[in-house]
Amino acid sequence: MKRLVLLAVCAFALCAIVLADNPLLINGAGATFPYPIYSKWFDVYHNKFGNIQFNYQSIGSGGGIKQITEGTVDFGASDGPMNDDQIKTFQEKRGTGILHFPTVLGADVPTYNIAGVNTSLNFTPEALAGIFLGKITKWNDPAITGANKGVNLPSADIVVVHRSDGSGTTYIWTDYLSKVSEEWKSKVGKGTSVNWPVGLGGKGNEGVTGLVKQTPNAIGYVELIYAIQNNIPYGAVKNAAGVFLKADLAGVTAAAGAAKAMPDDFRVSITNAPGKNAYPISSFTWLLIPEKIQDTAKREAIKNFLKWMMTDGQNEAEALSYARLKEVAAKEMKALGKIQ
């Protein structure tokens, strides 16, 4: 009997060693917009549950949608929800549906590099659309100076910087411009990738941030945390109520609150939301999870991580300038049951 007990103890110990040495690896890819919070979450979760390890490639939302559709990763990540055609393609290739789980909320901000200008600039929707359409080409154009009285803006040419890769940050930016500019909507439209009228391309939020920092008179768009971490200026944007707001947690949360009816599939846009306190270029960001996951261990690990992300994980969000989930989290918890 003692021998059997000893063998059982040894077997348990051996199993623990194997799990420690061979953690369950979950692969994901996609958005750079939420990469700082995802990196934090994956690290914290691994420290709590050592046998679960995440490998996340921050390659842009377009890449994340492509890889989850091809089945080369266990989950994708995107700042723009998959459209109907993308979902149809996924279903045809994978033989199952795809679920969208909002994780946090963030904001795109217009960031710039103008010598001698250290104040926060104000941007109207018309000015931003005009700049990225290539119609407003000088920093001292009345469309910009009119909203920035007392700021000595140069006559220098504006250098537009945009994403070169398929990007959810781009989806948010172009979704906003499509709502505030009919010309943008008809000529360019919204998407993770668009045909840019003007500008230089940078890969990832990191690439755009770097290009703006090293290019005199540049303007680009990045997720809020990248502007904060790199200590580069970013401007206030005139919202739907006519108020100039700099992106912050309160403004992003107010924009989310304007989405009164969250659809069951969680595919929602909150750009240009109504309300004087709503920052206009805000968005949820999503994890893309297949409805059917054949590997039982991975399925349960992903579901458990999502539960943690919706609850304890939210405590990590605000320190990295993301707004936490609120009412939507309870609805998401119910949606976990769809993962089989």
CA nearest to 227, candidates 318, 109, 113: 109
Q: 328, 252, 251, 325: which is closest to 283 by C-alpha?
A: 252
Q: Are residues 138 and 199 part of one domain?
A: yes
pLDDT band at 44 (very low <50, low <70, confident <90, very high): very high
pLDDT one-digit tens code per residue, 246-262: 999 999 999 988 766 78
Q: Give the residue numbers spanning the domain of 70.
A: 25-105+284-338
Q: What are 56-76's pLDDT values in tens digits?
A: 999 989 999 999 999 999 999
Quick one: pLDDT at residue 14?
A: 36
Q: How far is CA 121 from CA 125, 128, 155, in A?
A: 13, 12, 16
- pLDDT score of 119 more than 90: no
pLDDT of residue 21: 57
The DSSP line for 79-132 is SS---HHHHHHHHHHHSS-EEEEEEEEEEEEEEEE-TT--SPPEE-HHHHHHHH
Predicted TM-score (pTM) of this structure: 0.85
Contacts of 99 (CB under 8 A, 6+ apart): 265, 288, 289, 290, 291, 335, 338, 339
- CATH number of the domain encompassing residue 167: 3.40.190.10
Q: What is the pLDDT of residues 131-146, one digit of tens each?
A: 999 999 999 999 999 9
Chain-wide mean pLDDT for the chain? 91
Residues 281-321 have pLDDT tens digits of 999 999 999 999 999 999 999 999 999 999 999 999 999 98
Specify if 9 maps to a domain: no
Asked whether residue 251 is domain-assigned, the answer is yes
178 plus 214 within the same structural domain:
yes
Pairing of strands 98-113, 282-290: antiparallel
Whether 116 and 253 share a structural domain: yes
Q: What does R_g of the chain's alpha carbons equal in angstroms?
A: 22
Q: How many whole angstroms separate alpha carbon 67 and alpha carbon 91?
A: 14
Do 253 and 157 lie in a common domain?
yes
Q: How many domains does the chain have?
A: 2
Assess whether 94 and 131 both reside in one domain.
no
Question: Are 61 and 139 found together in one domain?
Answer: no
| Together in a domain, 310 and 247 | no
Let me know whether 176 and 232 are in one domain.
yes
Find the distance separating the first CA and the last CA of the chain, reported in whole Å.
Answer: 41
Same-domain check for residues 183 and 218: yes
> 55 and 115: one domain?
no
At 204 the pLDDT is 87
Q: Do 135 and 241 have their domain in common?
A: yes
Whether 237 is covered by a domain: the verdict is: yes
